[in-house]
Amino acid sequence: MLVLELASPTSKDWIDQAIRHIDLVLLDHANCEKKAAGNALSLLFRYPANGRLVETLSPLAREELQHFERVHRHLQRLGIPIKPLSAAPYAGRLNQHLRRSEPEHLLDTLLVAAIIEARSHERLGLLGIHAPDLELRQFYLWLAAAEERHWQLYLDLALDQFPADQVQERLDTLLQVEAEILSTLHPDPRVHS
């Protein structure tokens, strides 16, 4: 069975940055959940005839919006003012590695989505241990389990439609790219800084 293992674990520097600026990380996290829903939706638009993809990603988009609603409630509970926040360069830099032609574009899109979900799973799990507020820790531990399911789901979609050796090879390449992107801590505290 093919497993997704991140090429580098999250540094203690990120944990320290995130805990010091938990308000900004929560605000960014709300945006991440909206983007996760939006990405699933844009795949539905791009591949409307791909039944397996549609059956998987329509419920996923709904689930990500439910995550957004729960993050939003925590923002309100903690009295964190809602304001626009710039995104970390992370997803944009990963997307630069998507090949343009099909079917390679679909494979890369599914694998990049799987990697982002896997990093979210790792980091939300860390917030589940280190967040300063008990309710937040419980929320993040619950959420981390959902994000683990999501990377598996994107990886399964890739394996359903592409040969396993091709998936493995491309996954290894993109995992190295992802680790390189995160090798320097971005100065703005974000889920993927």
List interacting residues with Fe ion (CB under 5 A).
Answer: 33, 36, 64, 67, 117, 147, 150
From residue 39, give the alpha-carbon distance in Å to each of 64, 67, 122.
Answer: 10, 14, 20
| CA–CA gap between residue 78 and residue 82 (Å, rounded) | 11
Backbone φ and ψ of 98, nearest 5°: -70, 130
The CB-of-118 to Fe ion minimum distance in angstroms stands at 10
> CB-wise, 87 or 104, nearer to Fe ion?
87
- Longest Cα–Cα distance of the chain, Å, equals 49
The CB-of-45 to Fe ion minimum distance in angstroms stands at 19
Scanning the structure block, which residue is given the tokens 């399911």? 149
The CB-of-90 to Fe ion minimum distance in angstroms stands at 15
> CB-wise, 59 or 103, nearer to Fe ion?
59
| CA–CA gap between residue 119 and residue 150 (Å, rounded) | 11
> CB-wise, 17 or 31, nearer to Fe ion?
31
Can you give 137-185 as a three-state secondary structure string?
Answer: HHHHHHHHHHHHHHHHHHHHHHHHHCCHHHHHHHHHHHHHHHHHHCCCC
In this structure, what DSSP letter does residue 186 have?
-
> CB-wise, 91 or 166, nearer to Fe ion?
91
> CB-wise, 171 or 191, nearer to Fe ion?
191
| CA–CA gap between residue 52 and residue 154 (Å, rounded) | 11
> CB-wise, 22 or 144, nearer to Fe ion?
144
The CB-of-54 to Fe ion minimum distance in angstroms stands at 17
The CB-of-124 to Fe ion minimum distance in angstroms stands at 8
The CB-of-165 to Fe ion minimum distance in angstroms stands at 27
| CA–CA gap between residue 102 and residue 50 (Å, rounded) | 13
